[in-house]
C-alpha cells in the first residue's frame, strides 16, 4: 500500500489473509492519494467509493501509472459532472499539455471532446501539427472534418 503526503510517497507491505481487515498506516499528515496496489502486482480492479474530488485530481496528476491517471480522469468526469465543465476542462487541458504518457494525453483529449468539442479540435490539430512526421492525410482529413 502506498500513500502520498505533500507529494512524498510512503509505502507499507500488506499481508493479505483473505478475510475482511482494516488497514492502518501511520502518516505525517492527511494523504493526497492512497493506493492499495500502486505498482499493479495483483491482477484486480479496485473500486473506490470514498475518494473525493481532491484525491481524484491528485491521482490524475501524480499517480505513478498511466492507467491510474486515466481512471482518475474518468472518475472526475463522473464526479464533477457537466455542472463543472470549466474546472474539468482546465484539468483535462493540463493533462493534454503536460502528461508524459501519450495514452493519458489521448484519454484526456477524448474526455475533453465530450465536454468541449471545439477546444478538443484545437488541441488535436495542434498535436498533429507538432509531430514533424505526422501523416498529412490524417491531418488534412481532420481539418476537413473540423469545418463541417
Reported pTM: 0.65
How many CB atoms neighbour CB 92 within 10 A? 28
- Cα separation of 115 and 94, whole Å? 15
- pLDDT of the residue at 78: 84
Q: What is the Cα 68 distance to its own chain's centre?
A: 6
- Cα separation of 90 and 12, whole Å? 34
Q: What is the pLDDT of residues 28-51, one digit of tens each?
A: 998 988 887 777 777 566 666 678
- pLDDT of the residue at 110: 87
**Nearby residues of 123 by Cβ (< 8 Å), 6 or more positions away:** 93, 96, 109, 112
- Cα separation of 69 and 136, whole Å? 31
Amino acid at each position: 500500500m502506498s500513500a502520498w503526503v505533500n507529494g512524498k510517497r510512503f509505502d507499507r507491505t500488506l499481508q493479505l489473509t483473505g478475510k475482511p481487515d482494516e488497514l492502518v498506516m501511520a502518516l505525517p499528515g492527511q494523504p493526497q492519494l492512497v493506493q492499495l496496489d500502486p505498482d499493479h502486482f495483483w491482477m484486480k480492479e479496485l473500486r473506490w467509493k470514498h475518494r473525493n474530488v481532491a484525491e481524484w485530481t491528485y491521482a490524475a496528476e501524480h499517480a505513478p501509472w498511466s492507467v491510474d491517471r486515466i481512471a482518475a480522469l474518468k472518475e472526475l468526469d463522473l464526479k464533477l459532472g457537466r455542472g463543472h465543465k470549466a474546472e474539468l476542462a482546465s484539468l483535462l487541458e493540463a493533462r493534454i499539455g503536460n502528461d508524459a504518457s501519450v495514452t493519458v494525453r489521448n484519454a484526456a483529449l477524448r474526455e475533453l471532446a465530450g465536454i468541449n468539442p471545439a477546444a478538443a479540435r484545437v488541441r488535436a490539430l495542434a498535436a498533429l501539427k507538432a509531430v514533424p512526421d505526422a501523416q498529412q492525410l490524417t491531418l488534412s482529413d481532420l481539418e476537413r472534418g473540423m469545418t463541417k
